[in-house]
Amino acid sequence: MALLLCIAAGITVQQLTPAPDDTVGALAATRDLAAGKTLDPADLALLNVPRGLLPGGSFSDTTALQGKQLAVPLRQGQLISDSQLLGPGLLAGNPPGSVAVPLRMADPSSIQLVSPGQLINVVLSGGDGYEQPARSEVLAASVPVLWTSTQGGKGTQWLGDGETDGLIVVAADADQSRRLAGSSTQGKLFFVLVAPAPGRPTAPG
């Protein structure tokens, strides 16, 4: 009787275990990794994953990830995809034609209030209240935040190696990006937090 139970258990395990042809290699985090971490080979492990569970934009070659910077924290064993890295992959899931726009906020400490996936209105405040009348204008409404300078790191694929304090990167459409381009030279930039519309989840962060 015990032998029959062992055989049955073995068959069940075999049925639940994908055949080698049904799995592919994918890189995962070897330990908990913080946002802003620059990846090196010690951070990566190759796992065999069923093809049907493989996320889009995943990696199987460590050289493709070495030196890349995380935009979000990862848990040990979590698979890595391009949407979790600083760079164009963060635009995954946004409407076609979206671009990543870096903005410098007038109050750098306010960046601590936002994280990737948060929707914001970008507001331009101009004038000095004396010779020039003070005015405020919403340049872009309900744009998602892709990255903030509080996540660590100085250089990114968008921003180079310059100073990043007070910077955020948002996803914007063509019209919004034209209004946002060079806006920091026209006045001071601020943001307003926006609640997501019903049925519209925020991006994972």
Dump pLDDT digits (tens) for 138-166. Answer: 999 999 998 888 765 544 555 544 456 78
* Domain count within the chain: 2
Domain termination site, one of 85, 114, 144: 85
Is pLDDT above 70 for 46?
yes
Please tell me the pTM assigned to this model.
Answer: 0.65
Same domain, residue pair 81 and 103: no
What is the reported pLDDT for 83? 85
User: Three-state SS across the chain?
Assistant: CHHHHHHHHHHHHHHHCCCHHHEEEEEEECCCECCCCECCHHHEEEEEEEHHHCCCCECCCHHHHCCCEECCCECCCCECEHHHECCHHHHCCCCCCCEEEEEECCCHHHHHHCCCCCEEEEEEEECCCCCCCCEEEEEEEEEEEEEEHHHCCCCECCCECCCCCCEEEEEECHHHHHHHCCHHHCCEEEEEEECCCCCCCCCCC
Question: Is residue 204 domain-resident?
Answer: no
CA quadruple 185, 190, 192, 193: dihedral sign: positive
- For the ranges 70-84, 108-122, 187-201, which has the lowest average pLDDT? 187-201
Task: Tell me the pLDDT band of 131, cut-offs 50, 70 and 90.
Answer: low
What is the reported pLDDT for 72? 79
Domain of residue 30: give its range.
2-85
> What mean pLDDT comes out for the span 110-132?
82
What is the reported pLDDT for 139? 94
Same domain, residue pair 78 and 99: no
Same domain, residue pair 113 and 179: yes
Task: Tell me the pLDDT band of 32, cut-offs 50, 70 and 90.
Answer: very high
What is the reported pLDDT for 205? 41
> What mean pLDDT comes out for the span 172-176?
93
Same domain, residue pair 42 and 104: no
Is pLDDT above 50 for 12?
no
Question: Is residue 200 domain-resident?
Answer: no
